[in-house]
Structure 1
Amino acid sequence: MDTGKEDYQIADHIWAEIGEETTAAIANIPAAFVRVLGNITDDHSNFTAESWSFWIIYLAPTLLRGRFPNAKYHKHLCELVWIMKKTLQFTIRHADIDELEQQIANWVAKYEKYYYQYDESRLPACTLPPWGNLNKEVIYTAYLQQVVLWYDVQEEVSLSIQQDWSQLTTYETVFEDFLPNNDYVLQPPQVMTYEPDHNEQVKVALYIKQLIGGRQTVILAHLPTLMPLWKKVRIKNGRDSISTHSATRTSTKRRNSSYVRYELEYENHINGALRVVQLVQYGRLEKILVCLLSNNTQWLGLTGKTLLLALIRPCQTGGRDATKEETCYSRNLASIITDLQNVKGVVGRVESRGEWAIIDQRSNFAKPAFNGAGYNTDESEVE
């Protein structure tokens, strides 16, 4: 079918580039987000419903931006992404239903205008979703259920494979002295002794100064010269497994899970009132330092405390939230120190034409997922 009165076709050489970018993106997307994505241009056979959903929601807005002869087709695609995210939410307000209904109606009207073009000869453009795979899934699940009931093999045949992420795995450790709320658990490789360089010590001193005040030079002089170093950590409730950059760069075969979302709070005067504002940031987690402060009274409220500090190289994103809008960046800024508790989860990235976009799944909508037996969703999965 040709494009009729419209001009939405993407040239073959551009699709080839999009396919290569799709394949390359997987190295920078945590395995827990999605399985391996093939070349979308010539490898459709390996794309499951999960793959298509992830590609449309998280990759297409970036990979297809500026690719169409007319930007209206990309805008139309992004409107579909908004609808998909909205309809996948676990909860929705009654006030949102009318808006969603209107958005869907508008999207369909545009689709008919752009692709069907009110021409009966173009009816193939108005295809129905293929339900064949879903039908097979239902019938095969029914077969297994009958086998389980007939032969009483509930324990031998598991139809619901779910991992209890509140429990520690064999290789994980939690340090209650450091983390009273047990929100973070340590993953191998375990703690190692580390001597921060002068630049890192200065950043730690600056952070502590922001907490207790005082002179930065005095704080710097009294910091411990050796600090335990964490390389991998998991957020227990969020299930996110994060590898620091220092651990990730030792293997070229592992997915890169060193980019994180972190949130900072600061006070700002809004309409004459002092309010706490939350700033969403993204960056590469370089290292996790364990700073054990002495019992010296100079540390004030931090005397004898242990600080878990994240050394992060921020992405220049202008404070945008990737769960709400496309968030791109072209470079990383100078590293900073913040509390590990400010790190909220791991994020992925996709590169297109020299620019990176953040993939942030920290949202309140359901995510299509493959729950295959024995499937490992740890970020260290070798693809």
Structure 2
Amino acid sequence: MHLFLENHCKSLVSFWTGKYKGLDEGKECYVIAPAVWDAIGCETAEASNTIPSTFGRRTPNIATEQHIFTAEDWSFWTLFIAPYVLDRRFFRPKYYKHFMKFHSIMKTTLQFSFTDAELGSLHERVIDYIQEYESIYYQFKPDRLSVCTLAVHALLHIADDIKTNGPPCYNWTFVMERWCQHLLPAVKSHKRPFVSLAMRQYHLALFNEIQTRYELFEALQLTPSKKELSHYEVVYKEYPHSILQPPRRGGKPFTDWLRNLVAAYLTTVFNIRISTAKRVIPETFTAWGKVRIANGGDCIRVKSAQDLYADRSQDASFVCYEVLADRNAFSKFSATDFVRIIHYGTLEMILEIIIPPNPSLRTMEPRRFILALVSDCKTDGKDAAKDIVTFTKIGPCAIVDLAAICAVVGCFKYG
């Protein structure tokens, strides 16, 4: 953690702002103009408005509040914000490409497992990154030797350390720092603080021993489990992985526009004409404000409910959802070939409707549908887990099954 976040990331930012140990750029021109860096700082701070708290706390302004950055802030900024806000901000593209090599290395080290081939590839990429680092920042001049720090040299041993000690996520200091947060409130005595710490540690160890020996993990659970439903949450058997939360508004009438969208969705479900679909749709529906994905999944808020808390919360209405599309939809004589396509968009509304039995639908019992009204972003099916995904246009709204929503995601405006 400290190698990447508390050392090397800080050094790179010091280079880009022209504040690294009093050194100038030499023969290079990697320093970002102050006005541009101020804009990057503002974009970093404003990004938190549309990044859900699921991803962490608000990221401070890196231009004016870098002194309060924690390792968690450096990690989030480097992994998720920097690839966007630094794009086309350098005088030469090679500096951005060099940073993205470091970004790729950092993402690789977050894996939960590694093969020998992956470790070999990681080692080669680190060597390539360090060689380019020396060319850009060291420039092979004795008076710039201070840029070749021990932290830079330690990068060369990452692959070997992983092979010896296992993935970094199993032995980094985040765990110890979180534990220290539990111990700190125990210091009640200014005269004997270490006695207070020791007693706190003893009581926690005793509590854990009782849980383990008598298998009382659930009975002595101090924090509420996300697996349990609260009194205000609702889950239906047709949608076991979608836990609905208030606000709830029943008896809302359909507008013609919304009825047409729902009808278009039902035509694909029942393989019927759109005129038939319009007739079977009830006059009213129930609207829900939030949904939580079961088994520890994300909590997502519809856009209209999000706007009620816009002045003090982080937007949790931007979602990732998956749909199946026929690859041969425009080929009349080809067999259907469904492929999974990833979409991103804003969750505008959650609708619960019950379709009564109808001979046209070949249904004998009422059927419940929980649907999502989503404003689709034009991302060309790219996967943000693999590529940098951007969009400039938001397409028309569409109705999808609520179960198609995979997770809440973050987005922000830059450039």
TM-score of the pair, normalised by structure 1: 0.82
1:16 aligns with 2:38: yes
1:315 aligns with 2:337: no
Which residue in the other structure is 2:159 paired with? none
1:110 aligns with 2:163: no
Structure 1 residues 162 and 61: CA distance shift in structure 2, 3 A:
farther
1:73 counterpart letter in structure 2? Y
Which residue in the other structure is 1:305 paired with? 367
Which residue in the other structure is 1:356 paired with? none
Which residue in the other structure is 1:335 paired with? 397
CA shift for structure 1 position 219: 1.3
Structure 1 residues 153 and 134: CA distance shift in structure 2, 3 A:
closer
CA shift for structure 1 position 121: 2.0
Which residue in the other structure is 1:220 paired with? 278
2:79 counterpart letter in structure 1? I
CA shift for structure 1 position 273: 8.2
CA distance in 1, matches of 2:206, 2:231: 29
CA shift for structure 1 position 161: 8.9
CA distance in 2, matches of 1:33, 1:152: 28
Which residue in the other structure is 1:200 paired with? 258
CA shift for structure 1 position 342: 0.7
CA shift for structure 1 position 321: 0.8
SS of the residue 1:334 aligns to? strand
1:286 counterpart letter in structure 2? E
Residue of structure 1 aligned with 2:106, choices 75, 84, 90? 84
Structure 1 residues 118 and 338: CA distance shift in structure 2, 3 A:
same
Equivalent residues in 2 for 1:206-245 (5 A)?
Answer: 206-245=264-303
Residue of structure 1 aligned with 2:323, choices 246, 254, 264? 264
SS of the residue 1:208 aligns to? helix
Counterpart contact for 1:171–1:188, Cα < 8 Å: no
Counterpart contact for 1:285–1:313, Cα < 8 Å: yes
SS of the residue 1:333 aligns to? strand
Residue of structure 2 aligned with 1:290, choices 331, 334, 352? 352
When the two structures are aligned, how many residues end up with a matched partner?
Answer: 346
CA distance in 2, matches of 1:139, 1:224: 54
Structure 1 residues 302 and 287: CA distance shift in structure 2, 3 A:
farther
CA distance in 2, matches of 1:323, 1:64: 19
CA distance in 1, matches of 2:204, 2:197: 10
The structure in which a higher percent of residues are helix is 2
CA shift for structure 1 position 276: 3.1
Instruction: Say which is worse superposed, 183-192 or 43-52, in terms of deviation.
Output: 183-192
CA shift for structure 1 position 165: 2.5
CA shift for structure 1 position 126: 3.0
What are the Cα deviations for residues 313-352 of structure 1, in whole angstroms up to 9, with x where unaligned? 1001111111111100112100001111110000101211
Which residue in the other structure is 1:147 paired with? 199
Instruction: Say which is worse superposed, 9-18 or 194-203, in terms of deviation.
Output: 194-203
CA distance in 2, matches of 1:274, 1:337: 22
CA distance in 2, matches of 1:171, 1:303: 28
Which residue in the other structure is 1:174 paired with? 234
CA shift for structure 1 position 45: 2.6
1:280 aligns with 2:302: no
Equivalent residues in 2 for 1:148-163 (5 A)?
Answer: 148=200, 150=202, 154-155=206-207
Counterpart contact for 2:357–2:366, Cα < 8 Å: yes
Counterpart contact for 1:148–1:154, Cα < 8 Å: no
Instruction: Say which is worse superposed, 14-23 or 77-86, in terms of deviation.
Output: 77-86
SS of the residue 1:282 aligns to? strand
SS of the residue 2:387 aligns to? coil
SS of the residue 2:309 aligns to? coil
Identity in percent: 31
Structure 1 residues 336 and 140: CA distance shift in structure 2, 3 A:
closer
Counterpart contact for 1:264–1:342, Cα < 8 Å: yes
TM-score of the pair, normalised by structure 2: 0.76
What are the Cα deviations for residues 151-171 of structure 1, in whole angstroms up to 9, with x where unaligned? 677559xxx997633223x46
Counterpart contact for 1:212–1:301, Cα < 8 Å: no
Counterpart contact for 2:248–2:286, Cα < 8 Å: no
CA shift for structure 1 position 118: 1.9
2:228 counterpart letter in structure 1? Q
Structure 1 residues 267 and 139: CA distance shift in structure 2, 3 A:
closer
CA shift for structure 1 position 304: 1.7
SS of the residue 2:326 aligns to? strand
Structure 1 residues 12 and 215: CA distance shift in structure 2, 3 A:
same
The structure number with the bigger radius of gyration is 2
Counterpart contact for 1:297–1:303, Cα < 8 Å: no
What are the Cα deviations for residues 111-168 of structure 1, in whole angstroms up to 9, with x where unaligned? 11111122232233234559xx979949958978743454677559xxx997633223
CA distance in 1, matches of 2:271, 2:51: 39
CA distance in 2, matches of 1:140, 1:205: 56
SS of the residue 1:214 aligns to? coil
Residue ranges of structure 2 left out of the alignment (5+ in a row): 1-22, 153-172, 184-193, 209-220, 329-333
Structure 1 residues 301 and 265: CA distance shift in structure 2, 3 A:
farther
Counterpart contact for 1:171–1:187, Cα < 8 Å: no
Higher relative contact order (CA closer than 8 Å, sequence separation 6+): 1
Which residue in the other structure is 2:3 paired with? none
CA distance in 1, matches of 2:296, 2:204: 35
